[in-house]
Chain A
């Protein structure tokens, strides 16, 4: 039984660095996925804001292909895809809802649809912190970081109950501590960044991302670590807009957790897509490399 991989649309565009580093980290750990052929967009917020049935149909087409491949699980790096795929599976348990969704599809969907997991949860559950720590070659020494999950990695709570507390998850913290980083408890770890309203309602997103960046920067951290392509883009690419909204200047690098894990595993930096980060990661890399050198001299 295999785990089928659903990358989500961002993986091919705005977050190709997340995709690259996710693959590199999974390779290093020995976690293998079967690609989902011919997958389609889950419809994200625009679909579920339009119709629950349309949203489910878009997700179910993917889950059905996976089911026919005999997939035991579906893995995705993107929290928004995760939420849509999980909600669709749950809603399909109701026969009336299933009938309405099947009507939209080319053929009726499989009776049993596989469950979807974030890549983060799969790494944590399959390998655990100890194994991850064992794999570390270049520990994230000297780096103080905060983990930011965004809204959808741990919510809605009823469908994400297996991930931990909906407002205080600990999985990312455990993984990064295993990689040798000093991880602070970030109070806004599951607050919303403003999501896709950045385009039509810039001020809303700039304010929410601004609050997150301000709190993070005041904690004296070297970097914020994200797990969602949209959150990362709002906090990194839109960091100047957020600064303007708060009347502050921010200079806080925002990494994907897989980039940080990849660094610790000794994966070549060019294979982790660090060149795509808008706020320069250089100060973080320098501090880390200096700390590693010091460690060698000790």
Chain B
């Protein structure tokens, strides 16, 4: 394990995480319950309890660069099992937001999938499976994603071929929500 250089401590980062998540990050005493219960932990480069410690120590770059932020499944088992009632999943979510705002997306394909999903919502007002897959394959250049599932997915009509549209202007209303969100994020200096 690498040595931690405490002279790089960024106290403003610790405060920002606490404020944005609404959680008292100092309450964590490293019991490790969150890490023990985390179902995605085996794919993490930094276990969730270490992320909590990193936040306390103000290790901004190390924390925001962690792949773990993008492998987290938001199942909130960590939150449930925290003996100090810290919303650990909420902190992971805040860190994802902060990482994206700084352009630090350590597992790009997960983010590309999410962005593809949101694109279909912006256009149609509802998510649209084939559209998500097509956009994702284009973005990630992984054109054979789940091609093994195609026979079952198609024969069982798991994928609607037509987009699920909102009938009475809902798609346009959602488009406006997304547009206002993007404009505000640009104005405030975050990445949408």
Contacts and interface: CB of A to CB of B under 8 A. Distances in A.
Interface string A191-229: 110111111111110011000000000000000000000
B39 interface: yes
B66 to A, nearest CB: 15
A61 B174 contact: yes
Main secondary structure on chain B at its contact with chain A?
helix
B177 A54 contact: yes
Contact of A41 (B76, B89, B126, B160): B126
A237 B153 contact: yes
A49 B114 CA distance: 8
A40 B97 contact: no
Given A47-B118, A57-B177, A151-B76, A200 B129 contact: no
A48 B112 CA distance: 15
Interface centre among A40, A103, A167, A202 (most CB of B within 10 A): A40
A41 B122 CA distance: 9
Of the four ranges (under 10, 10 to 19, 20 to 34, 35 or more), the interface on chain A belongs to 35 or more
Contacts of B133: 199
Interface string B96-138: 1100100000010110111101100100011111000100100
A199 B121 contact: no
Nearest to B120: A41
A201 B71 contact: yes
Interface centre among B110, B159, B169 (most CB of A within 10 A): B110
Nearest to B109: A200
Contacts of A266: none
Contacts of B177: 54, 57-58, 61, 104-105
B43 A50 contact: no
B181 A40 contact: no
Contact of A46 (B42, B115, B128, B149): B115
Interface of B: 39-40, 42-43, 71, 73-77, 79-80, 87, 89, 93, 96-97, 100, 107, 109-110, 112-115, 117-118, 121, 125-129, 133, 136, 140, 145-146, 148-149, 152-153, 156-160, 164, 166-171, 173-174, 176-178, 180-181, 184-185, 192
24 contacts: A9-B126, A9-B127, A13-B160, A38-B166, A40-B171, A41-B125, A43-B121, A48-B74, A50-B192, A51-B181, A52-B93, A57-B177, A58-B174, A151-B73, A151-B74, A155-B75, A155-B80, A192-B73, A192-B77, A195-B73, A199-B136, A200-B112, A237-B152, A241-B148
